[in-house]
C-alpha cells in the first residue's frame, strides 16, 4: 500500500512539473518563433501530417506586412511575399442581376480577401479558387431562394457573373480571378444537367439523406471516410439520368459527354445544398470538400531536372556540386505558389520520383538538407518557406497590418525520398497510410546553421510527453 501511495505522489508531482513546464513553454514559444531563424533541422514526426493538425503547443505564425522588413534594395524587384495594396473603387454593376448582394456581403468579403490583389496568384490553388467556387455555389442557391430555380438562365448568368467579379474587385480582389480559377458565367447555369429546379430535384433525390450527409461535415473524417462526397455524387448521378446506364454498362460514364453532364449536375446539387443551408454552413462544407480534393495532388510545375540528375547521379555523400544544382532547381519552384503540408509531401515524392527515374538513387534530400517547406514559396529574402495547413484557411485583411495568412509552424521536417522510381498513390489516412520513410538523422545543416532553440525546446517537451505516457 505504501508503494502505491508513493507512486501516486510521484505522479502528482510529475503532473505539476509538467503543467509548469507547459505554461513556461507556451510563453517561451513566442520569443523563439519571433526570431527569423534560418532553416532549422527537421525533428517533427510525419504522423503530424497524416491527419489534419489539431491545436498544439506551437501555434501557427502569421505572415503579415507588419513583420516583413522594408526592402533594403529599392532598385531590385520586391520578393513575392511583399504585398502591394490595391486601390479599391466603386463596382460598375450591370443593374440587370436581380440579387441583393448585401445579403451575402460576408461571403463576398471573405472571397475578396482570399483572392486579394497581391496574393491571389500565390494562394489560388489552396485558398482563392476554392473560396471563389464556394461563393458561386452559394450565389446559385441564394439567387433562387424564393423560387423553384436552382440555376440561372444564360442572360442572367452573364450579368450576375459580371457583377460578382466587379464587386469582388472593388473590395480588393485580383482582377484576373476568373481566369486564374477557370470560372465563367456558365458555371451558374447548370450546363447540360437535365434537372434544374427544386421540385424535379426533390422527386428524384432522397434529399433527407443528402442533407444529413452534408449538413454538418466532420473536418477530420470527411477526406478519409467521406460521407458528404458520395452523397453528392449519388444525387448527381440520379438527376443526370446516368444511374441506370452506369449499372448496365460501367464504362459509359467514362465518356466525355457523360462526365460533363455529371459535373454540371454536381453543381446543381451544390446549389440545392446552398438553398437549404445557411451561407456560413454551406461555405464551410464546400471549403472542406475542396480541401479534400486539392490535398490529393501536387499543383507545382516541374520542368525536366536534367542538370540535377547530371550533378547528383553518383552522389553518395554531401556533394557541393549536387546540392548547388538541387538548390538552384528548387529556388525556381519556390517562386510558384503557396502549398499545403500534404501537397508538399506529394510534390517532394513526385520530384524525387523524377530524379530516381533519371538514375539518382541516393536520397539527396537528406544529403542536401531539403525540407518540405522548400517546396513552397518563401518569405522575405528566402529565409524560410511557408506551408499552409491541410484544412481550409483564409487570407485576413486588417487596415493596420494589411494582408496576412497562417503558416504551419510544425512542418520543419525533411522531404520524403521515394522508395522507388514509380509513383504510387500516397494515403494520409490510417490504417492504409503509405507515406515514404523520412530521414531520421538529426544532423546539422550543410549550410552551417546550428540547431535552433525551438528544436531544443521541442525535444525537451517530447521527453516530458513520453515520460508522461509511462505513468
What is the predicted pLDDT for the residue at 358? 93
Three-state DSSP at 140 gives helix
SS (H, E, C) 410-424: CCCCECCCCCCCCCC
Does any domain span residue 261?
A: yes
Considering the domain architecture, whether residues 288 and 390 belong to the same structural domain is answered as no
Residue 170 has phi, psi (to 5 degrees) of -65, -20
| Per-residue pLDDT at 90 | 81
How far out from the chain centre does Cα 269 lie?
Answer: 24
Q: Are residues 309 and 285 in the same domain?
A: no
Decide if 40 contacts 408 (C-beta within 8 A): no
Cβ–Cβ < 8 Å for 258, 94: no
Residue 450's Cβ-side half-sphere holds a number of Cα atoms within 13 Å equal to 2
Residue 178 lies in a domain: yes
Which H helix or E strand runs over 403? strand 402-407
- Looking at the fold, whether 269 and 416 belong to one and the same domain comes out as no
- Specify whether 63 is located in the same domain as 120: no
Judge whether 30 lies within some domain: no
What local confidence, expressed as pLDDT, does residue 314 receive? 82
| Number of domains forming the structure of the chain | 2
Distance of CA 138 to the CA centre of its chain: 21
Residues 253 and 110 in one domain: yes
E strand map for 128-172: none
Of 294, 315, 333, which residue sits at a domain end?
294
Q: Is residue 128 part of a domain?
A: yes
Domain boundary among 269, 294, 319: 294
The answer to the question of residue 398 being in a domain is yes
Q: Answer yes or no: is 143 within a domain.
A: yes
The answer to whether residues 214 and 321 belong to one domain is: no
- pLDDT attached to residue 430: 66
Give me the average pLDDT of each 10-residue run along the chain (471 residues): 46 47 43 37 32 35 40 47 55 88 93 92 94 96 90 95 96 94 95 95 97 94 95 96 52 62 96 95 96 94 95 82 95 92 94 94 93 84 74 83 74 83 71 50 37 32 32 29
C-alpha dist (Å) from residue 188 to 4, 140, 416: 69, 6, 41
Instruction: Examine residue 367 and state whether it is found in any structural domain, yes or no.
Output: yes
The answer on 302 and 278 residing in a single domain is no
Q: Is 41 left (phi over 0), alpha (psi -120 to 50) or beta?
A: beta
Nine cell digits for residue 379: 518569405
Q: Which structural domain range is residue 187 located in?
A: 101-294
Taking the C-alpha atoms of residue 273 and residue 207, their distance in angstroms, rounded to an integer, is: 9
Q: Please tell me whether the overall predicted TM-score, pTM, comes out greater than 0.95 for this model.
A: no
Nearest CA-CA partner of 372 in 300, 281, 287: 300
Answer whether residue 24 is part of any domain: no
Q: Which of these three, 262, 294, 326, is where a domain ends?
A: 294
One domain, residues 283 and 320: no
Pair 319, 277 in one domain: no
**Strand spans (E) along 230-349:** 339-340
Do both 336 and 351 map to the same domain? yes
Same domain, 280 and 302: no
User: What backbone phi and psi angles, to 5 degrees, belong to 398?
Assistant: -130, 135
Cβ neighbourhood burial of 12 (10 Å; 0-12, 13-18, 19+)? exposed
**348 and 228 both lie in a single domain:** no
Compute the distance between CA of residue 404 and CA of residue 406 in angstroms, rounded to an integer.
Answer: 7
Amino acid at each position: 500500500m505504501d508503494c502505491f501511495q508513493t507512486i501516486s505522489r510521484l505522479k502528482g508531482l510529475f503532473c505539476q512539473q509538467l503543467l509548469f513546464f507547459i505554461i513556461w513553454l507556451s510563453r517561451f514559444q513566442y520569443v523563439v518563433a519571433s526570431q527569423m531563424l534560418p532553416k532549422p533541422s527537421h525533428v517533427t514526426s510525419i504522423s503530424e501530417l497524416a491527419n489534419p493538425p489539431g491545436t498544439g503547443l506551437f501555434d501557427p505564425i502569421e505572415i503579415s506586412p507588419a513583420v516583413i522588413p522594408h526592402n533594403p534594395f529599392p532598385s531590385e524587384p520586391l520578393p513575392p511575399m511583399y504585398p502591394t495594396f490595391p486601390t479599391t473603387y466603386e463596382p460598375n454593376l450591370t443593374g440587370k442581376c436581380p440579387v441583393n448582394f448585401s445579403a451575402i456581403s460576408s461571403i463576398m468579403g471573405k472571397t475578396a480577401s482570399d483572392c486579394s490583389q497581391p496574393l491571389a496568384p500565390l494562394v489560388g490553388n489552396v485558398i482563392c479558387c476554392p473560396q471563389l467556387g464556394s461563393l458561386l455555389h452559394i450565389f446559385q442557391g441564394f439567387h433562387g431562394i424564393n423560387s423553384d430555380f436552382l440555376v440561372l438562365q444564360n442572360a442572367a448568368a452573364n450579368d450576375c457573373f459580371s457583377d460578382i467579379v466587379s464587386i469582388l474587385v472593388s473590395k480588393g480582389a485580383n482582377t484576373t480571378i476568373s481566369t486564374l480559377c477557370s470560372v465563367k458565367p456558365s458555371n451558374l447555369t447548370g450546363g447540360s444537367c437535365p434537372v434544374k429546379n427544386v421540385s424535379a430535384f426533390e422527386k428524384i433525390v432522397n434529399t433527407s439523406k443528402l442533407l444529413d450527409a452534408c449538413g454538418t461535415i466532420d473536418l477530420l473524417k470527411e477526406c478519409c471516410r467521406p460521407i458528404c462526397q458520395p452523397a453528392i455524387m449519388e444525387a448527381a448521378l440520379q438527376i443526370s439520368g446516368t444511374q441506370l446506364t452506369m449499372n448496365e454498362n460501367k464504362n459509359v460514364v467514362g465518356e466525355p459527354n457523360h462526365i460533363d453532364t455529371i459535373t454540371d449536375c454536381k453543381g446543381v446539387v451544390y446549389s440545392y445544398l446552398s438553398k437549404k443551408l445557411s451561407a456560413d454552413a454551406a461555405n464551410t462544407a464546400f471549403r472542406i470538400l475542396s480541401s479534400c480534393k486539392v490535398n490529393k495532388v501536387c499543383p507545382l510545375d516541374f520542368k525536366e531536372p536534367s542538370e540535377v540528375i547530371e550533378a547528383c547521379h553518383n552522389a553518395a555523400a554531401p556533394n557541393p556540386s549536387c546540392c548547388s544544382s538541387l538548390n538552384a532547381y528548387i529556388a525556381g519552384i519556390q517562386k510558384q505558389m503557396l502549398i499545403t503540408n500534404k501537397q508538399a509531401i506529394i510534390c517532394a515524392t513526385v520530384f524525387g520520383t523524377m530524379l530516381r527515374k533519371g538514375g539518382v538513387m541516393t536520397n539527396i534530400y537528406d544529403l542536401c538538407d531539403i525540407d518540405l517547406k522548400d517546396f513552397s514559396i518563401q518569405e522575405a529574402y528566402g529565409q524560410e518557406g511557408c506551408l499552409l495547413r491541410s484544412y481550409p484557411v483564409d487570407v485576413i485583411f486588417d487596415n493596420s497590418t494589411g494582408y496576412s495568412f497562417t503558416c504551419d509552424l510544425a512542418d520543419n521536417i525533411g522531404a520524403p525520398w521515394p522508395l522507388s522510381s514509380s509513383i504510387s498513390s500516397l494515403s494520409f489516412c490510417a490504417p492504409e497510410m503509405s507515406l515514404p520513410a523520412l530521414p531520421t538523422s538529426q544532423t546539422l545543416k550543410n549550410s552551417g546553421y546550428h540547431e535552433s532553440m525551438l528544436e531544443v525546446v521541442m525535444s525537451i517537451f517530447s521527453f516530458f510527453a513520453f515520460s508522461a505516457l509511462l505513468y
